[in-house]
Structure 1
Amino acid sequence: MTTTPIKELPAGRHRLTIDVDEREREFWVYVPTQAEQPEEGWPLVFVFHGGLSNAPTMARFCEMHEYADTAGFVTVFPNGTGRLPTMKTWNAGMCCGYAQREDVNDVHFVEQLLADIPQRVPVDPMRVYATGMSNGGMMAYLLGDKLAKHFAAIAPVGGTMGNPTCTPSRPVPLMHIHGTDDQFVRWEGGVGSRSKSKLDFHSVDHALQNWIAANQAQSTPTVEALPGEVKDGTSIERFTYAANGNNSAEVILLKVHGGGHTWPGKESRLDLLGATTHNLDANLAIWEFFQQHRLSR
């Protein structure tokens, strides 16, 4: 990922395509227009859309690229696959939809993006991260597991693990954000009352316990109630399972009491997704978490 860019992208939004496994795959790259490029290259954050959504919709949903414009990192919004342009999914284990049925190798897609993007924009290979919503959060989990050598940290939102276990090649710092009233990917696991897939999803606890073990983190968390300045029926608890010496990584849970299947801090236009907390800014929390972690050289 230290390749000299062959056609450097200017600041702004770029829709790009790449051929992977005999499919043309789309992805959107946002290069900051206001922040100054770091000497070692831009940090790179992959943002994965939810199931039956797509990359442009995800950009509007979370606005991570707008936050990145001043915070100073490149955002990549990859597109999943599907028969309709606005309804894409990721093959993230047990979920979801077209991508799973067609056995699309989305891990290989991301591997190809990891090789391609540094040829277009200067990237710091020590600071590559993944986040995503719902099925996209499951994709972030899968990448942390299968491509641990590339990702310095992951931060799934509203999506649990799609596989029964994980065996990353190195500890990968993890922050999971999830609402207790999520009716699509339920906190307790199982079939959500508003789930389109009707899949029996794993619980939040299943994901945490697997990653606490894989990261060799401390099994007992420190618990902190975050200040709630907005009276919107939600509150935030932070559970930190600290790193346990060398060859270990922390696991953090931000439990959104009363929160639905939403991106904290960004109002959803769909009431069926449930309540959005304004006592947490997911973009800020994710980036602050990512800034604390980088791969070692």
Structure 2
Amino acid sequence: MSDTPRHPIHRMVTIALLLAAMVTGALMFAPAAQAAPCSANCLAPGDYTIVTLSGGLPRSYLVHVPASYSGDRPVPLLLDLHGFTSYAADERKYSGQLAQSDKRGFIAVWPEGIALSWNAYGCCAAGNAVQVDDAGFLRSVIVALKGRANIDADRVFVTGISNGGGMAQRMACESADLIRAVASVSFPLNTDRCAPAKPIGVTEIAATGDATIAYYGSTPPLAGLPNDLAGVPLGVQGARESLAAWKRISGCGDDLARRQINDEVRSEEYLSCNGGVRAGLVTVSGGKHVLYGGYVGLGYNGTYFPPIDVSEYIWENVFNL
């Protein structure tokens, strides 16, 4: 199934702006916990490609509504963000969240970045270099889906890998009013300027053998170079430093719960944080940058399977709210 433009561009812009204003106004006066069933232009089970305008740019996103969805009760919403040089369709194919949607009954969305990139903190390419308002775009996606489906406003989540993981972390900083928790795969917070509107849970899953975004962090190759040069991350925060930053941001106590998941994977989590949220780090010993089993692309030939099912872990341990 597909949503396609049916009007000239000036009419489409006018209609989009009016609808956005109407939805935003409705949300301002409705309690956050309410999720009234959709009454017009509602989504039914199936797959959609939706095209819209955001920040003056044409944007698109894929939507999967599971067969179990009836609209009579609120369901979770997940935004799943692709990495740099990748597409929304790639993330849909490899992240495992499509199968999780069918298994758990949530609505899954795979937004498309500009020039295969996102404007995350210090990364990547065009999205970061020209400061695309990706946070605004993703917020508009959440609002739009709330208008077309019965979404549980208390269970809106964001995940993503690499540049998409970085964008998920940015959403945690800038859109905590709409999002309950975030899971970032293979990318740290990477900023010292993060002030969420309310406490939000954040967990990163990272591999010590990551040769793209170093687990222990990295610095620019030459003195005097910035960490971010025209969207190229010359230096990045380490995964452990990112966890420490979220401990501070979320006002967590010092008690750190440690768990060995298997021989190659361990989790560390601060459980006593403001608002009852959690700040966590899952470390894959060795491992690679793309922690999706069977991934093809970027030099991966489909034969690498990490020692953890990222999608399953996220729903069982991060989004289990």
Shorter chain as denominator, the TM-score bin is 0.7 to 0.9
Query: How far does the alpha carbon of each residue in 1:120-158 deviate from its partner, in whole angstroms, 9 at most, with x for none?
Result: 222111110000000000011001110111111000001
Partner of 1:74: 107
Provide the TM-score with structure 1 as the length reference. 0.86
Query: How far does the alpha carbon of each residue in 1:71-122 deviate from its partner, in whole angstroms, 9 at most, with x for none?
Result: 111111000001xxxxx10001211101112211011101211221122222
Partner of 1:122: 150
Is the Cα contact below 8 Å between 1:216 and 1:249 reproduced in 2? no
Shift in alpha-carbon separation, 1:105–1:24, aligned structure 2, 3 A: same
Give runs of aligned pairs for residues 123-142 of structure 1, distance below 5 A: 123-142=151-170
Give runs of aligned pairs for residues 204-223 of structure 1, distance below 5 A: 204-223=239-258
Q: What displacement does 1:53 show?
A: 1.0
Give runs of aligned pairs for residues 1-297 of structure 1, distance below 5 A: 2=35, 4-33=38-67, 35-37=68-70, 39-82=72-115, 88-190=116-218, 197=232, 199-228=234-263, 235-244=264-273, 247-264=275-292, 266-270=293-297, 272=299, 276-293=304-321
Query: How far does the alpha carbon of each residue in 1:148-175 deviate from its partner, in whole angstroms, 9 at most, with x for none?
Result: 1111100000111242332112211112
Q: What displacement does 1:192 show?
A: 10
Q: What displacement does 1:179 show?
A: 0.6
The runs of 5 or more residues in structure 2 that have no matched partner are: 1-26, 28-34, 222-230
Shift in alpha-carbon separation, 1:204–1:290, aligned structure 2, 3 A: closer
Query: How far does the alpha carbon of each residue in 1:18-48 deviate from its partner, in whole angstroms, 9 at most, with x for none?
Result: 1111111000000002x34474312001000
Identity %: 23
C-alpha distance in structure 2 between counterparts of 1:38 and 1:216, whole Å: 37
Is the Cα contact below 8 Å between 1:125 and 1:150 reproduced in 2? yes
C-alpha distance in structure 1 between counterparts of 2:219 and 2:212, whole Å: 8
Question: RMSD over aligned Cα, in angstroms?
Answer: 2.3
Q: Secondary structure at the match of 1:89?
A: coil
Q: What displacement does 1:271 show?
A: 7.2
The structure that is helix-richer by fraction is: 2
Q: For structure 1, which segment, 118-127 or 196-205, has the greater mean C-alpha deviation from structure 2 after superposition? A: 196-205
Query: How far does the alpha carbon of each residue in 1:201-257 deviate from its partner, in whole angstroms, 9 at most, with x for none?
Result: 1111221111101111123412221134xxxxxx0011121124x535211211000
The runs of 5 or more residues in structure 1 that have no matched partner are: 83-87, 229-234
For 1:17, the aligned partner's letter is V
C-alpha distance in structure 1 between counterparts of 2:238 and 2:197, whole Å: 23
Is the Cα contact below 8 Å between 2:71 and 2:149 reproduced in 1? no
Q: What displacement does 1:8 show?
A: 1.3
Is the Cα contact below 8 Å between 2:122 and 2:232 reproduced in 1? no
Name the count of aligned residue pairs: 277
C-alpha distance in structure 2 between counterparts of 1:163 and 1:273, whole Å: 29
For 2:153, the aligned partner's letter is P
Pair member with larger Rg = 2
